[in-house]
Structure 1
């Protein structure tokens, strides 16, 4: 009973701090300070300094700002325009035609971005005007882009995977490899949805404006070479064991600069803008991680995670039942917090339960990413909804409504992951081993 009261008090304090407008990272630090000062006899100052320094100086975490910078550089290039030119000729014979450029474009760009919002914005700034000009239905343009943009979190390199790997002490390389098959599966589900919709609504799909020969399609595909080359360099170096995630991130930045330079997009202003954009986002994430690390320590001293894990044990929940409960919990939490905050805020409590039930931590990392993806298109705090609202002028409620079928497909992907865990665990064991 005492532990329940402590948990209730800390949750109320945390949401009160957030409601007051305090930054998430500072709110987590403040809640951790309250927990240690009120409910333990441990000295707060030394523990806070040591924990913040330890969380911020992790070598593994250095991959994060590098991948963010790579995405910021590519966001300011003509990459989306080139990708549309390279993909569009191949889509004319598939039911749904150019709508598939949203999904395939996001899938490809996700492999060099790591950010859901950046993926959605980069692909959307090219496909939305092009698809509108060709009279594709607005609801399908926006809905498929909102859903496919979330692939930026699942297909490696992923910022959420790096954050989870640091928080759960799991190999980031394994997480990256584990995300490949689920990412392709989810993209396939999205494309399947477009195909079924096109079969049911043949009159809503515009006819192709031009017919190209096979040779002309191959020639148009040259526009995809910069992106494909960067994907091979970054992810290939990790998969074959030539580079760690951090080293591959550095390679990605160099490759992104080369791509921007060859396209004529690299100048002093774009370089500084990309650097400052990456710095701001990296500092925000570092502050959140530091606050979460200290809150985790404070909760450990209060004994809350251990007591909660014991309570879950007493309930006798199976692994499957716990996964269902956690999926609902994270979807609800995603209505109020961004993905990174969700992960770092809950790991201290959730991981002991997961480990006690023997759930594979690599599999659970991919599960977390999938449910965080759902949160990207759930109002009121769905980042992809904000991005598309700014790009299209539609209300968030409209965007959420047209993206709802894609949300349901993500639920299907989670169910497939639960019934076939090898979707996430097979590839890492084949390429890296246990």
Structure 2
């Protein structure tokens, strides 16, 4: 059986299992088992057990549940209220007004969450009622939230970057550094769109905010101090070399518990609910990672990744052409799979291609995250769209149309990354040279 037929068989089994409602992780295990059983002589069961244990016992992976738990704890505090109160006096002066609180608030919370859905829920539950009350256009409220919440996938601590790093055995800390500048640039692009749209639209006429003196604005901004201190401890400890990603995650959990206690929202019910939420999410991701690792092993034994890499070499695509093919590929599969599933499902095949093409794997991690961010706001499986539908009560088509400009901005961001790769590589390279010196 040649590689085209083998790919067809793998895809047929995968979509057959997914179509019957089987969990993504179990579907990946099922496809891998079929490949091992039919096309290799190695015992499929023994290989499965060994691979699952090796993958799920990775020390690097420990950072994942800790960062998830940190986000779950903060989700149950008054952080969103404090952020809105602290940011609104400053954002009201910009073209677009308080719509910028959606973008800046999501950027800030992304730096302590790592989850797109948690970022969206946390910021949206406070900003949507407030912006509606001030007569901001509904489509811009929804669109800015849908787009800016995807920053939770890029700005550290990003769960997707952790999964990507584990999948290809690269430094989580370097990947986190690589995501900072592109994440901030993307946030600025969102804000620039809001400012231009607000100036150009004749229907943009929200209620004016009461002017505050500089002293009053500074006094209101004190609400931002706790979360900024937490970001400094978590992110700064990694970048300065004081802590690994796992140790920084532990600091983040302790800091979030302290923050919850100071806000008087740390109760036994809060701790229990946050632990259960983190356990469910972590178990789901661990099962997907285990399935992807077993699938990678199965495909490795069949020789499929090597054959595809050699085939790509024979058609002599330039690096730009290869990236364009991967861009379209990830956008298509993102319509049917969530971001983490898209990454772990494809890395066994894509990693040899990008390494053979001489593409920096740290830079490619940021590229992939930008593209799978799009999957969060593309029908029919865009998870952020479902969250917003539950929060606003609008039809899915209305939400998708409101989010479409943000999708186009992300496409532009992909080309910015290709044109200026130093956006992703400068910070990790600089920090590595500083430590070496």
TM-score (norm 1): 0.99
Q: CA deviation at 1:208?
A: 2.1
Distance in 2 (CA, whole Å) between partners of 1:3 and 1:182 is: 36
Distance in 2 (CA, whole Å) between partners of 1:202 and 1:283 is: 49
User: 1:381 corresponds to which residue?
Assistant: 381
User: 2:92 corresponds to which residue?
Assistant: 92
Distance in 1 (CA, whole Å) between partners of 2:279 and 2:134 is: 38
Q: CA deviation at 1:157?
A: 0.4
For residues 188-247 of structure 1, the C-alpha deviation after alignment (integer angstroms, 9 at most, x for no partner) is 000000000111025513242311000100000001011101000100000100000000
Unaligned runs of 5+ in 1: none
User: 1:108 corresponds to which residue?
Assistant: 108
Distance in 2 (CA, whole Å) between partners of 1:299 and 1:395 is: 41
* Stretch of structure 1 that moved more, 195-204 or 12-21: 195-204
Distance in 2 (CA, whole Å) between partners of 1:395 and 1:316 is: 45
User: 1:4 corresponds to which residue?
Assistant: 4
For residues 340-381 of structure 1, the C-alpha deviation after alignment (integer angstroms, 9 at most, x for no partner) is 110000000000000001100000000010001000000011
Distance in 2 (CA, whole Å) between partners of 1:118 and 1:342 is: 19
User: 2:214 corresponds to which residue?
Assistant: 214
* Stretch of structure 1 that moved more, 195-204 or 417-426: 195-204
User: 2:199 corresponds to which residue?
Assistant: 199
What is the RMSD computed on CA atoms of the aligned residues? Answer: 0.9
The total of aligned residue pairs comes to: 434
Distance in 2 (CA, whole Å) between partners of 1:151 and 1:165 is: 18
Q: CA deviation at 1:91?
A: 1.4
Q: CA deviation at 1:4?
A: 1.1
User: 2:137 corresponds to which residue?
Assistant: 137
Q: Is the 8 A contact 1:96 1:205 kept in 2?
A: no
Q: What does 1:284-433 correspond to in 2, within 5 Å?
A: 284-433=284-433
Distance in 1 (CA, whole Å) between partners of 2:339 and 2:151 is: 13
Distance in 2 (CA, whole Å) between partners of 1:117 and 1:403 is: 15
Distance in 1 (CA, whole Å) between partners of 2:40 and 2:203 is: 67
Q: Is the 8 A contact 2:309 2:353 kept in 1?
A: yes
For residues 111-135 of structure 1, the C-alpha deviation after alignment (integer angstroms, 9 at most, x for no partner) is 0000000001100000000000001
Q: Is the 8 A contact 2:135 2:207 kept in 1?
A: no
User: 1:163 corresponds to which residue?
Assistant: 163
Distance in 2 (CA, whole Å) between partners of 1:319 and 1:47 is: 35
User: 1:271 corresponds to which residue?
Assistant: 271
Q: Is the 8 A contact 1:29 1:294 kept in 2?
A: yes
Distance in 2 (CA, whole Å) between partners of 1:114 and 1:372 is: 14
Q: Is the 8 A contact 2:92 2:209 kept in 1?
A: no
Q: Is the 8 A contact 2:139 2:402 kept in 1?
A: yes
Q: Which runs of 4+ in 1 moved over 3 A?
A: none
Residues 202 and 211 from structure 1, CA distance in 2 versus in 1: closer, same or farther, beyond 3 angstroms? farther
User: 2:227 corresponds to which residue?
Assistant: 227
Distance in 2 (CA, whole Å) between partners of 1:378 and 1:110 is: 20
Q: Is the 8 A contact 2:89 2:217 kept in 1?
A: yes
Distance in 2 (CA, whole Å) between partners of 1:226 and 1:266 is: 15
User: 1:50 corresponds to which residue?
Assistant: 50
Q: Is the 8 A contact 1:97 1:205 kept in 2?
A: no
Q: Is the 8 A contact 1:56 1:286 kept in 2?
A: yes
Distance in 2 (CA, whole Å) between partners of 1:21 and 1:208 is: 49
User: 1:69 corresponds to which residue?
Assistant: 69
- The SS at the match of 2:98 is helix
User: 1:41 corresponds to which residue?
Assistant: 41
- The SS at the match of 1:432 is helix
Distance in 2 (CA, whole Å) between partners of 1:38 and 1:14 is: 15
Distance in 2 (CA, whole Å) between partners of 1:55 and 1:284 is: 14
Q: Is the 8 A contact 1:292 1:344 kept in 2?
A: yes
Distance in 1 (CA, whole Å) between partners of 2:167 and 2:286 is: 12
For residues 76-123 of structure 1, the C-alpha deviation after alignment (integer angstroms, 9 at most, x for no partner) is 111000000000001122100000000000000000000000001100
Distance in 1 (CA, whole Å) between partners of 2:52 and 2:137 is: 50
For residues 168-202 of structure 1, the C-alpha deviation after alignment (integer angstroms, 9 at most, x for no partner) is 11110000011010000000000000000111025
* Stretch of structure 1 that moved more, 201-210 or 346-355: 201-210
